Amino acid sequence: MPARLALRPKPAAATVKLTAVTKGDLAGWLKRASAAQKRYAEAMGFKGGAGEVLALPGRDGRIERVLAGMPERESPDGSGLRFWTWAALPGKLPAGSYRLDPEPADANAANDVALAWGLGGYAFDRYKKAARKPAELVWPAKAARAAVTAAVRADGIARDLINTPAEDMGPAALAEACLETARELGMKAATIVGGDLLARNFPLIHAVGRAAATEPRLIDLSWGDPKHPKIAVIGKGVCFDTGGLDLKPEAGMKMMKKDMGGAAHALALARMIVEAELPVRLRVLIPAVENSVSGNSIRPLDVVKSRKGITVEIGNTDAEGRLILADAMAYAGEENPELMVDFATLTGAARVALGPDLPALYANDDALAHDLLNAGIVARDPMWLMPLWQGYRARMESKVADTSSISDGPFAGSVTAALFLQNFVPANCRWAHFDVFAWNPWNRPGRIEGAHLQGPRAVFAALSKLYPRA
């Protein structure tokens, strides 16, 4: 069990009781408390508000119980007011061991608390030792330990990848991380590198990555019984994005180490699928490149014939993620999967529309969209459905190629990017596209500034219902 899980199987000798209260039920709890505890809570001004904590001392002066203020109810939209209040506690409480008193009444509540605690215990410590150890929670009795552990571990590994700067997380390093996952989980793995991309007909991936010192590559992982339903998961792996010849300004380039966030999302989802042994045939494709500037950089208005045979005019070299995804999605489609999911830090337009918290979801199937939206609420992993508005296809026309890579104006940038990708999805394949930010820009309860996953838990929850284990 990884140390960062911040959940322990047994109480320590000095385990402290932890009681969740709201403003509404604090008075009832104090009626049952000792007179000393009631006086102490009143003296400290504890009201039971969301995020408040109060350590109650015992007769020996040590902490006997902690009261944790919670919202009156969980948010119905999946934003997780109560969930993230729980997630804040590993960093807010003094280091040590805690156990819930009373225990959650049902398995769903127990899983929610355990998952929130596990996610809240994350710290990126590759280059700098964590300031402190997180407070540990004794596993709630009704929690599904294996499922929660898998979700927390997948999240932590993916966040580590996103948080790591490009010097240590270039295309070769990202490929090695994927291969390490494959070895650990018993997945088959292969990579196609450099000139072999052209030889094997991945021209868009090669064109985007050819200018970098580290060669571009396509990472190909597979797992499961070939007789089971085929699903494909694709993740954008741009390990750093300068913008190419359409160079980004300083402010826009600064955070581009996270532009491989889609790849990390895909890997996290794959881990959960394999560890849960869902009855599917899984294919994971991650095109890994660095979008750099050199004498052989791809140029604006170059025309490249994609793997699918569609010719693409390069409208802007900073719209590179959709290009590498196009070849990977076309390749995945050749196996005729019944479901395809892709994750990509694709457009700033999605962030203008929805901000950093909500990934934009596009789907070509209403039932699939409904399943994902509902799963996002249950999994505390929300998203927002956006339209595949076919009327905007006219804005993507090119005079010299089958399509331009971008639209002819500033409107609906996330929608037109999704429409471009739809060109490379088989007509009979259900498809979901996530335009994610993959980053939390502010320190908030339970969510430290840095890498943040958006969508994998929701997709896994939906897949678990679509493909239940026998």
Q: Exactly one of 92, 322, 447, 457 is catalytic; which is it?
A: 322
Q: How many residues does the chain have?
A: 470
Nearest C-alpha neighbor of 197 from the set 287, 270, 134: 287
3-state secondary structure of 280: coil
Going by C-alpha positions, the residue among 23, 17, 16 that lies closest to residue 41 is 23
- Smallest CA-to-CA distance from 290 within 252, 239, 253 is with 239
Catalytic residue among 8, 23, 145, 248: 248
Amino acid at 240: F
Which two three-digit tokens encode residue 22? 């709201």
- The DSSP secondary-structure symbol of 342 reads E
Give the integer Cα–Cα distance in Å for 14 and 63: 9
| C-beta atoms surrounding 365 within 10 Å | 14
CB-based burial label for 323 (10 Å; 0-12, 13-18, 19+): buried
H-helix or E-strand spanning residue 11: none
Dist. CA 241–CA 321, nearest whole Å: 9
Bin 80: left if φ > 0, else alpha if -120 < ψ < 50, else beta. Answer: left
Q: Is 322 an annotated catalytic residue?
A: yes
- Which residue, among 300, 331, 330, 329, has the nearest Cα to 406 in the 3D structure? 300
Residue 214 burial class via C-beta count within 10 angstroms: exposed 0-12, middle 13-18, buried 19 and up = buried
Name the residue among 208, 188, 151 with its Cα closest to residue 405: 208
Torsion of CA 79, 82, 87, 90, to 10 degrees: 160
Structure tokens at 87: 């997630």
- Residue 322 contacts by C-beta under 8 Å, 6 or more apart in sequence? 344, 346, 405, 417, 420, 421
Sign of the C-alpha dihedral computed for residues 217, 340, 281 and 305 taken in this order? negative
What order do you get walking across the sheet with 16-21 strand by strand? 7-8, 136-138, 97-100, 16-21, 63-69, 53-57
Q: Is 128 among the catalytic positions? A: no
The pair of structure tokens assigned to 18 is 């932890």
Nearest C-alpha neighbor of 401 from the set 323, 310, 316, 328: 310
Q: Which residues are catalytic?
A: 248, 322
